[in-house]
Structure formats: structure tokens, C-alpha cells
Copies of this chain bind each other. A is one copy, B any other.
Amino acid sequence: MSGSIVDFRSDNTGAAAPEILAALAAANHGTAAGYGDDPLTERLQERMGELFEHKVHVFPVATGTAANALALAGVTPSWGSIYCSREAHIETSECNAAGFMSGGAKLHLVAGEHGRIDPAALEEALENAGKGLAHRSQPAALNIVQATDRGAVYRLDEVRELGAIARLHGLHVHMDGARFANAVTHLRCAPAELTWKAGVDILSFGATKNGGLTADAIVVFKEELVEPLRYQIRRAGHVLSKMRFASAQLLAAIEGGLWLELAGRANEAAARLATGIEALPGLRLAAPVEANMLFVEAAPEVLDGLEAEGILFFRRRRDLARFVCRWDVAGEEVEALLAALRRQTGRRAA
């Protein structure tokens, strides 16, 4: 694969799926009312309702950060606090969009392994939160990232347990599903099981990372959350005027199961990589590989060597690499990465 790109930087470096691109072309005829009053957006509401086996309201938005921050703003008063894992995307990577969109809500970090929230730690945090004390931001929302930012996937019973704790303490539950497709694929469960049946009130449904171009969505399972969100999303500039072109992407993803097929490819590539890496001395998987990401501990020299070979990836520390498998990662890229890892670990062992 000489000269070719080997790119494990992120799933957002990938291309759009041909089916999704084709859907844009198919949507591009005639006129359509703006701001979501079009037939494609209407169909999206219905299809998503079928997919989730529940009446839902879907707000297509342009980015995952918008989906997360606006969903959280919809379930948190401005003096609220949002409980999330230390590795949660809203904490590490969104420039405090959640704090901004909500008018000042605070993130409260909860311990846990591999990007998960530990139920006992959550309970302890909530018991010490000072509910009713005006000196303290008030517990308002739980943010669950599924799959996690460490590439792990909560089991169904784990989500249910967190959901039950949240309900007990009066928190709304938001699921950051930037990689929801990868999680559903891994669990082979119904989307309903993983969301409203497990206590999730509102979901960020990721499509961009999974073969879309510029479309994610907020999926609301609780009717009473919808109306305020309409205004919050509008004043955040996240109501697309030609919304049909976002809805078309989302429809193409879910109709016919494309979203799970694409996520399946990414997950499989990650699993193949994991198997290869486990066989190599000097490498350690720092988190379970359950979705499409791998965190690999290695000697700094090994990672330096990969970089020198031109392999594209990000380092979290000098001795910790993250490899993300895109839906369109080529088999050759997986082979090329494994070969390079073999070379670099072999050199070091020699």
C-alpha cells in the first residue's frame, strides 16, 4: 500500500457513504418549505418513531456538539449541574458548549472505567450534591456517552442501572450517541431497549461520523421537552433553512439499516486490529474494544516510529495512542497499521 493514506485519526476524517450522497441528489428537485416544514423532515419523524418504537421528535442539527449542548440545555436549568464521566466529550472536547447553551450549568465529573460512569460513584456524588442548598448548582441531568469516549460500550443493564439512579434523584438522562450506531451494532439490541426503555429522555443521534456529511440529530422521547427546544435550537442558529438536505442524510442512514451496516464495518475493522495488537508483545489495549476505537499503550519509541512511517493517528500521551476506524477504512489500512506495529515493536524487541 505504498504511498497510500493510512488514517486512524478519527471517524470524522472519512467520506460520506455513496447512499447518503445519492440521497442529497434525490432530494434536490422542486421546492420545499424551509425550516423543517418539508415532506422529508416529516418522513424522518415517522421513520425515527418506527426505529425507536416510540413517538419521538427529531431535530436535525449540523453537529454533534450542537446536539449534545442543546439536548442538555433542554433538560437542565441554568443553575443546574450535569453529571458526566471524566472522559465525556462534553467535558473534554466541546469548549464548554453545554455550559454556554444552558446559560451556566456546571459539569460534575463522576469516576468510572473506560469512559463509563460508575453507578456507585454517581450515587455518592448525588447524595453529596447539596440538593436544595442554594449555594450549590442543582443536580439536573445525567450524560451517558454510548459508545464511550474510550471505545467501550455500556451493557443494557448498565444503562438501565444508571437510568434508575437518575430517575430516583430527579435527573433527566441524555445519551450522547455520537457513536450510537456502533453501540447498537455491538449490543445487537433494539434502539428502544438502549434508550427510552432504559430511562433515556433525549438522545444525540450521530450520523456525521457514520457516513453522513453534515447531519446529526436530537431525538426527544419526552413530549414536554419538545416545545422549549424549538426556541432554544432556533436561537442557537441550528435550525437549517433547507432542512430537507439534513433530513435526507438521516433518512438514508436509517432506512434500510445502512447506519448499522456502516457501523458494523467500522467495528469489525477495530476488532481485527484488536486481535492483531493483542498478539504483539509490548502493546497493551488500555480499554475494551467494543466499538470502533482502540486505545493502545506502547513505548513512546514505537509510537514515534509509527508517526515516522506516516501512519495517521492521535496520541493522548507519549505512550498512549488512539486509533479510530472509519466506516470506510480500507482493509489495507488495517493491514498497514498492523504491519507497522509489528515492525516498530519488533525493532524495539531486537
Residues of A within 8 A of B (CB): 5, 7, 9-10, 12-16, 21, 24-25, 28-35, 61-70, 77-79, 81, 92-97, 99-101, 103-107, 134-138, 208-209, 212-214, 228, 230-242, 245-246, 312, 326
Contacts and interface: CB of A to CB of B under 8 A. Distances in A.
Given A79-B231, A100-B103, A135 B31 contact: no
Which A-B residue pairs are the 4 nearest by beta carbons? A66-B237, A62-B62, A103-B103, A79-B231
18 contacts: A5-B30, A10-B241, A12-B35, A13-B31, A16-B28, A16-B242, A24-B213, A61-B237, A63-B240, A78-B78, A94-B135, A95-B234, A96-B137, A99-B106, A100-B104, A134-B239, A135-B234, A208-B242
A43 B61 CA distance: 26
A208 B245 CA distance: 11
B62 A235 contact: no
A234 B97 contact: yes
A101 to B, nearest CB: 8
B242 A214 contact: yes
Contact of A79 (B96, B134, B209, B239): B96
Contact of A235 (B15, B61, B100, B326): B100
Contacts of A95: 79, 134-137, 231, 234-235
Given A237-B238, A240-B63, A107 B104 contact: no
A235 B35 CA distance: 23
Contacts of A105: 96, 99
A236 B236 contact: yes
Given A63-B240, A97-B236, A137-B235, 13 more contacts: A9-B33, A12-B34, A15-B30, A24-B24, A63-B237, A65-B235, A67-B237, A69-B237, A79-B95, A79-B96, A93-B135, A94-B237, A214-B246
Q: Which of A33, A64, A100, A246 is the most central at the interface, judged by chain B CB atoms within 10 Å of its CB?
A: A100
Contacts of A230: 134
A21 B21 CA distance: 9
A237 B235 contact: no
A97 B230 CA distance: 13
Nearest to A136: B95
A99 B237 CA distance: 12
